[in-house]
Structure 1
Amino acid sequence: MEDYDAIVLGAGGAGLMAAAVAGQRGRRVVVLDHADAPGKKILISGGGRCNFTNLHATADRYLSANPHFAKSALGRYTAQDFLALVERHGITWHEKTLGQLFCDGSARQIVELLLGECEAGGVAVRLGASLGAIEHADARFTVAHGGRTHRAPALVVATGGPSIPKLGATGVAYDIARRFGLKVVEPRPALVPLTLPGSEALFRALSGVATAVEARVGKTRFAESALFTHRGLSGPAILQVSSYWRRGEDVAIDFRPNAAPGWLVEAKRARPRATLAGALGLPARLAEVLAERLGLGELGAASDRALAEAERRLADWRFHPDGSEGFAKAEVTVGGISTVELSSKTMEARKVPGLYAIGEAVDVTGWLGGYNFQWAWASGYAAGQAV
């Protein structure tokens, strides 16, 4: 039996952050993970350069059954706080778009930063063995791992969600939560490509075509690029709305989000011999498909009323996804351990003193663009300060 002040389950961003903060407060901490290397999700993020935070990471950029839950942690550990840590480690960075910050070099630098912070706190990191039995008695948690039994008054669940199972992701966090009587909001894939049915095969045939759009689900809208794939729709705008999409709902696309009202009639006046496909200002293959669907050729041959109707449809083109590409392709998970069960200040379970849940394991899911890493850092910091 090995005794610690805190056991952290999961060597991802949130777990390593929590362990480092606690260790540097003088706590004796061990991190346990079944993976053979730490931070695997970090390493593949941002095309290998890790979109490590977002300058606009406020609670309104996160999905949760309680939209206010993330405010406390995000307010006490901000994007600027993590950026200061990045700079202290000599990591150079750049802002790409929309407040997204990336390493100039490799995502591995962020993993090394976290391991360096853990080392500074004397944290033990143990990898490459499955978690065994988890027990709780006499205000102590015991966890079997790799032939050893670890015991501590604090247990931090940072095992993430089931997205990207090829990296070893599982739903073990939910199993642990239920084992201790905590509610779980049904998890579903988020930031994930959507699939189209055979009736929309003409658009699937546009595989590889991308264009700037505004995508909408209900009242939620994102103006970024969309990408047609051999299975359906992807690209940043689609990934963003996928987190809000529910089976049976339409996804509406505005193919000309910045166009002024009446732009097609104006185009007809200026160039009556131009074709609709040529006037759209979109990638040629996409423009041809849209013009074919609208049944319009030369602008001069169309009535103003027909052009106004074409404008309306182009601004509100409805796709009917029949599903998503699932957890295998989802960047994150919507849902997870219910925030009703947790303190927003410490991330501790109200019903089970000493049990904490952080990161993607919790029902807090950020937008695309570094928001989920900032939640990992902020929730990890909150738990690390509390254990």
Structure 2
Amino acid sequence: MDKRDVVIIGAGASGLMCAATAAYRGKRVLVLDHANKAGKKILMSGGGRCNFSNMDAAPKHFLSDNPHFCISALRRFSSQDFVDLVDRHGLDYVEKAPGQLFCEHSAKDLLEILLTEIEWSGAEIQLNTKIHHIDFHDGHTILKTSQGDITCDSLVIATGGLSIPTMGATGFGYEIAKQVGHDILPTRASLVPITVQPERKAQFAELSGIACDVSATANGVSFQEPMLFTHRGVSGPSILQITNFWQPGEALSINIAPSLSFDDLLAVRQNTPKKSYEGVLSNLLPKRLVELIKAEFPWLNERSAQTSNDQIDSLFEYLANFDIAPNGTEGYRTAEVTLGGVNTNEVSSKTFESQKQKGLYFIGEVLDVTGWLGGYNFQWAWASGYCAGQYV
């Protein structure tokens, strides 16, 4: 039987970070994964360039039923700590939006750094390995796998959530948590495109590929970022962000001209009476979207002097409360993260050890901690992996 100090299930961001950290402490570490390649989600994230951190990874940018849980780890391993790590390896990266750090060339460069750290630390990775059963004993754990039995003192669950099953995501981590009596908070797909009702879907298909800045609001939270029209509905940063706070059936407000006030529209008629509102909107919105609006307001191409207050009011309400007719989301198939997960009230925020089973640890996305879009979830993976790696 293979004997290890630490076994980590999951060769993703948090698992690789935890493995290197623990192995540098002299622990005999083995990472297991059922996939044929380590770091698959790292490679496909950020359009293949991986938004690997955010320099403003403060606790306020994370959601959890226990909002205080993430504070300790984010302080002990900050964004700057991870930047220092990749700087030592000479990674070329860029700040595409304030705080958002991406690989300049390819996510492969970042994965290569992590695998180099694994090699230098002496940790090992074993791929194409299925876990058949896990037995917890007093002081050690036995894993029955497709590659033979393994025993360890510390078992780390770094299996992620349910997002993007084509990359190998499963509910395995939740099953292990349930096995020892953990509470699993309701899970759902998040940071995910929104689908729309059939009539809107047909209209939006004509707009597919165009984007505009919008303000998306749900449950008192707003994001003003681009929205992208797709063949299935809407996506883009503002939409992905709002799905952390919105669920199907709830109110969702989309303002497609957030920089335009009602007074601005009135001023057009007063100051430029010969100008049409079609011309005004054409300076703010893509042409195809203006055509869709004109179908609702045929008078848009008339001189503004000819419009009434009621017409202007109707136009403003249409823009400020643009009805995308949401139907739901694209689900785990395209979701970047899974909301919910292992209840953090039952896990140590210092060591990440289970309070239900000695020697069992949970890190990364499997926990009920979800970051906003923009590198926050990767920073949580690095931080939780590093902190657990100090104690396993």
TM interval, short-chain normalised: over 0.9
Q: CA deviation at 1:271?
A: 3.0
How far, CA to CA, are the matches of 2:310 and 2:116 in structure 1?
65
Match of 2:267 in 1: 266
Q: CA deviation at 1:50?
A: 1.1
Stretches of structure 1 that go unaligned for 5 or more consecutive residues are none
For 1:105-184, what aligned pairs fall within 5 Å after superposition? 105-184=105-184
Q: Is the 8 A contact 1:161 1:361 kept in 2?
A: yes
Whether 1:334 aligns to 2:335 is no
Match of 1:234 in 2: 235
Match of 2:52 in 1: 52
Per mean C-alpha deviation after superposition, the further-off stretch among 373-382 and 249-258 is: 249-258
Cα displacement string for residues 152-189 of structure 1 (whole angstroms, at most 9, x for unaligned residues) = 12110001111111111111111111111101111110
Q: CA deviation at 1:216?
A: 1.0
Per mean C-alpha deviation after superposition, the further-off stretch among 259-268 and 236-245 is: 259-268
Whether 1:12 aligns to 2:31 is no
Cα displacement string for residues 263-288 of structure 1 (whole angstroms, at most 9, x for unaligned residues) = 11112223333332321121011122
Cα displacement string for residues 70-114 of structure 1 (whole angstroms, at most 9, x for unaligned residues) = 111111100000000010011111100031101112101111111
Cα displacement string for residues 206-263 of structure 1 (whole angstroms, at most 9, x for unaligned residues) = 2112111111112111111001111111111101101211120132111222234511
Per mean C-alpha deviation after superposition, the further-off stretch among 312-321 and 179-188 is: 312-321
Per mean C-alpha deviation after superposition, the further-off stretch among 63-72 and 16-25 is: 63-72
Match of 2:315 in 1: 310
How far, CA to CA, are the matches of 1:294 and 1:15 in structure 2?
55
Q: CA deviation at 1:370?
A: 0.6
Whether 1:322 aligns to 2:327 is yes
How far, CA to CA, are the matches of 1:141 and 1:302 in structure 2?
76
How far, CA to CA, are the matches of 1:227 and 1:50 in structure 2?
20
How far, CA to CA, are the matches of 2:179 and 2:278 in structure 1?
59
For 1:338-377, what aligned pairs fall within 5 Å after superposition? 338-377=343-382
Q: CA deviation at 1:295?
A: 5.3
Query: 2:368 is matched by which residue type in structure 1?
Result: D
Q: Is the 8 A contact 1:248 1:320 kept in 2?
A: no
For 1:290-301, what aligned pairs fall within 5 Å after superposition? 290-294=293-297, 296-297=299-300, 298=302, 299-301=304-306
Cα displacement string for residues 119-176 of structure 1 (whole angstroms, at most 9, x for unaligned residues) = 1221011001211211111221111233221111211000111111111111111111
Per mean C-alpha deviation after superposition, the further-off stretch among 152-161 and 301-310 is: 301-310
Match of 1:213 in 2: 214
Please state whether the residue corresponding to 1:182 is helix, strand or coil. Answer: coil
How many residue pairs get aligned? The number is 387
Q: CA deviation at 1:193?
A: 0.5
Q: Is the 8 A contact 1:18 1:380 kept in 2?
A: yes
Stretches of structure 2 that go unaligned for 5 or more consecutive residues are none
Q: Is the 8 A contact 1:9 1:158 kept in 2?
A: yes
Please state whether the residue corresponding to 1:386 is helix, strand or coil. Answer: coil
Aligned CA-pair RMSD: 1.4
